[in-house]
């Protein structure tokens, strides 16, 4: 049998070649395949259930990235039916609710995550912290959001989501210098995690706002990225 990882890679590849529709079709086909294995009720059915949640999450992320929120709602709730105590999935539901302006619903989802009490792990504490920070961001209370992100970074200096979002909040507070330093520092300290398109796009946007000679600075960044980034990194995000 073809390994599941290869099947998932086969589904995701077309999007890298600007064929998003084909990726979506293949992901739904993969979902049907996985569900067929779940229905067989074999000894590996639990493994296939986890894969079902994984594929559903992949599909949801794809729709979310293209602002197809109604589909996201349907998929997230479908996943939560099978695993109603997954804090990451509940948080994703909250993110979608924020995007659609349902602030009360998002707050309820984030409180639900806090109530799960999944131990004292740094990962779980930071998930809660980032959720709180997002509420502050939506309220345009960037100072409080920065404070929450700093707590996350203290617990885990490699939390790239917190680092990136803190930098954005600093930018909104018109502190471009510190926001640039923060992202540059993240790239130097944790390049394997921080070298992703979102962080690089944000850093390049900050360069464009802060410097007249941003073209040269972005070129230097691009040259550095070429040495450390994986082969599938989209270098066009530097906008040179």
CATH code for 141-240? 1.25.40.10
- Please state the pTM of the whole predicted model: 0.84
What's the pLDDT at 118?
A: 64
Token pair of 92, please? 């994703």
Token pair recorded at residue 213: 């000679």
Q: How many Å apart are CA 118 and CA 91, to the nearest integer?
A: 14
Average pLDDT over the chain reads 90
**Which pLDDT does position 39 carry in this prediction?**
86
Band (pLDDT 50/70/90 cuts) for residue 231 is: confident
Highest mean pLDDT among 20-29, 39-48, 210-219, 220-229: 20-29
* 128 Cβ contact partners less than 8 Å away, ≥ 6 residues apart: 110, 113, 114
How many residues can be counted in the chain? 240
Structural tokens at position 220: 């230097």
Helices (H), 83-213: 87-99, 103-114, 122-138, 142-155, 160-172, 176-189, 191-194, 197-210
> What's the whole-number mean pLDDT along residues 123-144?
96
Burial of 46 (C-beta count, 10 Å sphere; 0-12/13-18/19+)? exposed
pLDDT at 36 over 80: yes
Q: Where are the domains of the chain?
A: 141-240
User: Residue 119 pLDDT > 70, yes or no?
Assistant: no
Confidence of residue 157 (pLDDT cuts 50, 70, 90): very high
Give me the mean pLDDT over the 196-219 stretch: 92
CA–CA gap between residue 83 and residue 32 (Å, rounded): 19
State how far the alpha carbon of 203 is from the alpha carbons of 9, 125, 210, 221, in Å. Answer: 29, 27, 10, 10
The predicted structure's pLDDT at residue 141:
97
- Tell me the pLDDT tens digit for each residue of 38-85: 888 777 888 998 898 889 889 988 998 898 999 998 988 888 887 788
């Amino acid at each position: 049998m073809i390994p599941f990882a290869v099947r998932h890679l086969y589904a995701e590849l077309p999007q890298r070649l600007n064929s998003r529709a084909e990726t979506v079709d293949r992901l739904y086909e993969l979902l049907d395949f996985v569900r067929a294995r779940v229905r067989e009720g074999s000894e590996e059915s639990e493994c296939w259930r986890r894969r079902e949640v994984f594929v559903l999450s992949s599909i949801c992320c794809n729709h979310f990235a293209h602002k197809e929120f109604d589909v996201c709602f349907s998929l997230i709730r479908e996943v939560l039916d099978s695993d109603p105590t997954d804090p990451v999935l509940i948080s994703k539901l909250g993110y979608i609710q924020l995007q659609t302006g349902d602030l009360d619903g998002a707050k309820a989802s984030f409180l639900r995550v806090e109530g799960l009490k999944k131990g004292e792990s740094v990962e779980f504490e930071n998930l809660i912290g980032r959720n709180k920070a997002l509420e502050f961001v939506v309220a345009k209370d960037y100072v409080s959001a920065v404070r929450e992100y700093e707590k996350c970074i203290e617990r885990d200096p490699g939390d790239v989501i917190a680092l990136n979002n803190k930098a954005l909040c600093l930018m909104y507070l018109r502190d471009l210098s510190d926001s640039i330093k923060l992202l540059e520092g993240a790239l130097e300290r944790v390049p394997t995690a921080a070298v992703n398109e979102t962080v690089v796009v944000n850093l390049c946007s900050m360069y464009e706002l802060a410097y007249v000679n941003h073209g040269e600075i972005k070129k230097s960044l691009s040259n550095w990225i070429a040495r450390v980034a994986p082969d599938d990194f989209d270098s066009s995000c530097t906008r040179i």
